[in-house]
Structure 1
Amino acid sequence: MEDASVLWPEDLSPHQIVAVLHLPAQDAYSDARRYADDVLSFSPWHALEAYRRLGSIMRSRRAAYSASSAFRHRFNGIEPQEPSDIKELPA
């Protein structure tokens, strides 16, 4: 995990298709889309402990995601929010 230059043997974990997603086009200017783009922040650390992030690359990404989110919220003049219930999200 710590040395990203080491190749992972594909015979130990061959590529497998687990799903095919078909997503409809989204309204780029909807309230829900603006909320997702301007208010929320994506972070791989918003996950269950069972799917915890490993390795030095992921640790460096943590700082980059945080800095990017902080800049975007500051630049847009919007307070970041972390909804705790799906009812808090615009439809």
Structure 2
Amino acid sequence: MVFVPFTGVNNHWKNVTFAAGLLAKENYKNFKWLLLTFKKAMGRAPSCVITDQCKATKKALDKWWRTTTHRLCMWHIMNKLPSKVLCCVVT
């Protein structure tokens, strides 16, 4: 199961969870359903979304929430950075 929280900032600049979804799989079909259901419940898509680097999420966002700005989570980027960058130690 994949837990997908929709967290934002209210008028008092406090974090608030607007919605959450549980998906059986992390695939395009499920993210499409979740995005369309959220938009229907809230009346509009959010102006900005921060996600991990899931290709299915990116595909669904690009197709169904075209006006929403998509950003990658800095925590995920920094966690993956050491495995992607070869560091050389000179002694």
More strand as a share of residues: 2
Q: TM-score, normalised by structure 2?
A: 0.26
Q: Tell me: higher relative CO, structure 1 or 2? Use CA pairs within 8 A at least 6 residues apart.
A: 1
Q: TM-score, normalised by structure 1?
A: 0.26
**Larger radius of gyration, structure 1 or 2?**
1
